[in-house]
Amino acid sequence: MKLRDFGILEGISEVIATTISSTGKPNAAPIGIISDGKMYARIYPNTHTYSNIKATKKLVANVVSDPLLFVLSALGDLDEKEFYTVDEMPALRYADAWALFECEEDKQDNTLIYLHPIKGKILRKRARTINRGANAIIEATVHATRYLATKDEKYLEWIAHYEEIVKKCGGEREKEAMRRLEESIQ
Ligand SMILES: Cc1cc2nc3c(=O)[nH]c(=O)nc-3n(C[C@H](O)[C@H](O)[C@H](O)COP(=O)(O)O)c2cc1C
């Protein structure tokens, strides 16, 4: 399994991780997969993703290009109908590809999770150009999660900057994503 074929390249690849709780509840949240010789993620301990990885030692990386799904999964819960099951793990219907990883916690730093690929599937290949509005949504969503965690108002200024780019460069999907983001941080 070559992760490059899944679009997971060197540097940090933003995916939506799907995990399952010890009671069988699926969860989705964006994470960055870091590849610099090793492959790992840094997961905040106060998240569902973290407790689910602790419980099951598995995550599915969903390769998703829809900015709205990033907003909805980062700032709230996705509807159960967005999920289906692969190898007893949740994956996202909308994903272009999924990759299942075994998770291994670092012995000293428990937020550092090494990722060992098990299997994956490419579901569709689409040609897609870079859209600055879509990129701006990803940046604004990172700031929105930090704003909600810290209430530091500098993040609101940064979100306002990205909102201008979404207005100029985004399509209807990006504008809807920005509306949902704004609602989440009210
Ligand atoms: C693009 C993007 C990348 C993110 N990367 C990470 C990450 O690498 N690790 C992490 O713990 N949280 C990351 N986050 C924040 C989590 O998605 C966010 O805290 C989320 O609310 C956690 O949800 P959960 O409690 O359902 O797991 C990222 C958010 C975005 C928008």
Beta-carbon contacts of 46 under 8 Å, excluding residues fewer than 6 positions away, are: none
pLDDT on residue 126:
85
* Residue among 173, 132, 91, 93 at smallest CA distance from 101: 91
Q: Is 141 in the pocket of ligand 1 (CB under 6 A)?
A: yes
Distance of alpha carbon 183 from alpha carbon 123, whole angstroms: 32
Q: Could you tell me if 6 and 15 are in contact, meaning their C-beta atoms sit under 8 angstroms apart?
A: no
Mean pLDDT over the full length of the chain: 96
The verdict on pTM exceeding 0.85 is yes
pLDDT at 99 over 90: yes
In this model, does residue 1 exceed pLDDT 90? no
Closest by alpha carbon to 48, among 24, 70, 19? 19
CATH topology of domain 3-66+73-122: Pnp Oxidase; Chain A (2.30.110)
Distance 74 CA to ligand 1 centre (A): 6
Cα 166 to chain centroid distance, Å, stands at 19
β-pairing verdict for 83-86 and 58-63: unpaired
pLDDT digits (tens, 9 = 90+) for 127-149: 889 999 999 999 999 999 999 99
C-alpha to C-alpha distance for 151 and 174, rounded to whole angstroms = 24
Ligand 1 site, residue 177, Cβ cutoff 6 A:
no
Q: Which pLDDT belongs to residue 164?
A: 98
Mutate to test the pocket of ligand 1, among 34, 44, 105, 138 (most ligand atoms within 8 A of CB): 44
Short-list 5, 14, 4, 1, CA closest to 135: 14
The pLDDT of 33-59, averaged and rounded, is: 97
Q: What is the pLDDT of residues 110-124, one digit of tens each?
A: 999 999 999 999 999
Give the residue range(s) of CATH 2.30.110.10 domains in the chain. 3-66+73-122
With the most atoms of ligand 1 within 8 angstroms of its CB, the residue from 142, 146, 155, 184 to mutate is 142
SS3 state at 155: helix
Enumerate the CATH 1.20.58.290 domain ranges in the chain, comma separated.
132-177
Which token pair is 104? 């291994």
Residue 9's pLDDT band, with cuts at 50, 70 and 90, is very high
Ligand 1 atom closest to residue 30's alpha carbon, by position in its atom list: 17
Q: Could you tell me where the beta strands, DSSP code E, fall in the chain?
A: 11-20, 26-35, 39-42, 58-63, 83-86, 89-92, 97-105, 112-122
pLDDT of residue 77: 94
Residues 157 and 91: their CA atoms lie apart, in Å, by 34
Q: Comparing 6 with 115, which gets the higher pLDDT?
A: 115
CATH of domain 132-177: 1.20.58.290
